[in-house]
Chain A
């Protein structure tokens, strides 16, 4: 038994040594900033923060930035306990969460970093839908439509008497929360008899394979599947507007465009690495946000966010 144990131990030690080899390679560069920045929160915001962290590493290699994906709510829980420095959020902080921060003497600032648009999509073979009004979307999705609005001609006269097949994200996602609030109103939810999936690829497949399909999800998924789906504009009283870089960025694609945020703990005031990171975030967001499929704010708004952050630091 002894010999076997020795071999096992040796194998263990070798693997350990090999697996920690990568950490020292950046040590040669001389830079003033070091320390670590802990970020957690929304998986919607994650790709942006990841992109920023990746670029930041080229500038300040000694600062260790780590990012988790506990979700907006889970992120704020940790943020409220002071366990993280920055929280990614796909919605503004709730009163309940703000109260917890206050109880733990945590002050913070919320900064808008990008926009995300929710796209409403149908199958390319669908020839009848030209646009939806917000009321029509409400007719389709509100909870009382369950088991009653089952055919397209119940939504608008002139549309065919064909079954309506609905696809959307599951109730646990921030995207669902946003859509149901924007279309059906606060705390109402939507009808339950639709095909729900947390995996947006499933929704894409569902709509792409069903002539009578209708669904919604983040604009970035449409951008990747343009050939399989048809984007439908939404009329909020000012004519039908399709979500594009422009209409989402300037807010005319209402009500289905939403801002996304980061929340910064006030310990950024004393910790230069955190404040430098956040400034870097706002300086480079315009470029990097586009890279990962989201829509940047107009540059004036980034300037405004930067000013807001600087004021926060100096108070």
Chain B
């Protein structure tokens, strides 16, 4: 065998290895999803979506859980987006070289690695007790917003970095101020990247259980929330609660609830991807 043949063989071997690695993740995911769908699909019907929690597995529904999840997602979104994007803009555009900015940067990377239950404790003390929000949706959303804030900040910074310097230069050249440049040129151009970060952040928030249990989200709530100060439960807590029941029927319910949770995440991601694509088409430099 010539050297060239050997190299080609290695090349091919690596390609197969790459495919193999990719497939491992996909096969396991497909197996899990298949398993969940097999267990839970037949359980999903209108009653399941609109019934209140019940001790009888076949009567129990997830109305309050999915309503709670949606409230939580919306308020987390409303809190985390302005905070995260503004912080990202400051760090990337204004405070780039200062010592404080460096310190902040290190801290943000560290925050991203803190276990979520710690955020729960923080949320319980600060939002729940100090600010008197109790175990309301607002307290839960604020806690989750803190938890996913680093993701949004980092994504915003990366998106801003990706905007070509020539755009900024051109804007400044036409006499725009820094703020005008950021607002009219840089931000619209980086909107897609920022949105991707926000999607990741919200998808993570919707699946969190531990911090919400710590701040006192409940397991049994027989009414849907009607204001941000109401008590709530969310889908992951309902799932966790059902999984820990001895009766097999409850694990079927849990599987069905997992499907609904997956769907909610999927739809949210879909909406965001749609907006992102629509937005990116508009950019024509």
| A-to-B contact residues, CB < 8 Å | 1, 4, 8, 11-12, 15-16, 19-23, 40, 43, 46-47, 49-51, 53-54, 57, 64-70, 78, 83, 199-201, 218, 220-221, 223-225, 288, 291-293
Report whether A43 and B244 are in contact in the complex, using a CB–CB cutoff of 8 Å.
yes
**Do the beta carbons of B74 and A15 come within 8 Å of each other?**
yes
Interface string of B237-271 (1 = CB under 8 A from A): 00001011111100100000000000000000001
Residues of A within 8 A of B246 (CB): 200, 218, 220-221, 223-225, 293
* B224 & A19 in contact (Cβ 8 Å cutoff): yes
- Taking CB atoms, residues of chain A closer than 8 Å to B177 are none
- B80 is an interface residue with CB less than 8 A from chain A: no
Bound: A46/B63 CA distance, A: 19
CB distance from B74 to the nearest CB of A (A): 6
Cβ contact within 8 Å between A15 and B70: yes
Residue B204 interfacial (CB < 8 Å) = no
| CB closest chain-B residue, reference A19 | B67
B55 touches A51 (CB 8 A): yes
DSSP class of A's interface residues: helix, strand, loop or mixed?
A: helix
Report, nearest first, the 9 A-B pairs whose CB atoms are least far apart: A67-B220, A51-B55, A19-B67, A221-B246, A68-B218, A22-B224, A220-B246, A224-B246, A69-B219
Contact flag A291-B226 (CB < 8 Å), given A50-B220, A66-B231, A200-B244: no
**A66-B218 contact, Cβ under 8 Å, with A4-B275, A15-B70, A51-B55:** yes
Residues A20 and B247 in contact, CB atoms below 8 Å apart: no
CA distance A276 to B56 in the complex (A): 23
Q: Which residues of B are found within 8 Å of A40, using beta-carbon distances? A: 216, 218
- Among B66, B70, B217, the most chain A Cβ lie within 10 Å of the Cβ of B70
Among B213, B245, B251, which residue has the most Cβ atoms of chain A within 10 A?
B245
Q: List 10 A-B contacts (CB under 8 A).
A: A16-B74, A19-B70, A19-B71, A20-B225, A22-B67, A23-B223, A65-B220, A68-B218, A69-B219, A200-B246
Given contacts A50-B53, A67-B218, A70-B216, contact A20 B244 (CB under 8 A): no
B278 at the interface (CB under 8 A from A): yes
Does B107 touch A at the CB level, under 8 Å? Answer: no
Question: Complex Cα distance A288/B54, Å?
Answer: 12
Residue in contact with A8 in the complex, picked from B56, B226, B275, CB distance below 8 Å: B275
Find chain A residues with CB under 8 A from B67 CB. 19-20, 22
B220 touches A20 (CB 8 A): no
Taking the closest CB of chain A, its distance from the CB of B85, in whole angstroms, is 13
Contact among A20, A50, A220, A224 with B226 in the assembled complex (CB-CB below 8 Å): A20
**B222 at the A/B interface (Cβ < 8 Å)?**
yes
**What's the Cα separation between A57 and B223 when bound, in Å?**
11
> Which B residues lie within 8 Å of A291 (CB)?
55-56
Set of chain A residues within 8 Å of B71, measured between Cβ atoms: 16, 19
Contacts of A224 in B (CB 8 A): 246-248
Q: Are B70 and A65 in contact (CB under 8 A)?
A: no
Q: In the bound complex, do residue B213 and residue A69 qualify as a contact, i.e. CB atoms below 8 Å apart?
A: yes
CB-CB < 8 A to B64: which residues of A? 22
Q: Known: A47-B245, A68-B216, A221-B246. Contact between A23 and B226, CB under 8 A?
A: yes
A220 to chain B, nearest CB (A): 5
Q: Which of B219, B231, B241, B271 neighbours the largest number of chain A CB atoms within 10 Å of its CB?
A: B219
Indicate if the CB atoms of A293 and B223 lie closer than 8 Å: no
Contacting pair B63 A22 (CB below 8 A): yes
Q: B219 near A53 (CB under 8 angstroms)?
A: no
Across the interface, which residues of B come within 8 angstroms of A1, CB to CB?
A: 188, 191
A221 to B53, CA, bound (A): 21
Q: Which of B188, B241, B244 has the most CB of A within 10 A?
A: B244
Query: Do residues B224 and A20 form an inter-chain contact, with CB atoms below 8 A?
Result: yes
Closest to A47 in B: B55
Across the interface, A69 reaches (CB within 8 A) one of B55, B66, B70, B241, namely B241
- A223–B245 CA distance with the chains assembled, in angstroms: 12
Contact B247 A293 (CB under 8 A): yes
| B213 A64 Cβ-Cβ under 8 A | no
Answer yes or no: B221 CB below 8 A from chain A CBs: yes
Q: Nearest Cβ distance between residue B166 and chain A, in whole angstroms?
A: 22
**CB closest residue in chain A, given B51:** A22
Q: Does B50 lie at the interface of the complex (its beta carbon under 8 Å from any beta carbon of A)?
A: yes
**B217: A residues at CB distance < 8 A:** 68
Whether B90 sits at the interface, judged by CB under 8 Å, is no
B279 at the interface (CB under 8 A from A): yes
A50 touches B223 (CB 8 A): no
Distance between Cα atoms of A64 and B232 in the complex (Å): 12
Q: Closest residue to A38 on the B side, CB-wise?
A: B231
Set B216, B224, B241, B278: member contacting A4, Cβ < 8 A? B278
Contacts of A225 in B (CB 8 A): 246
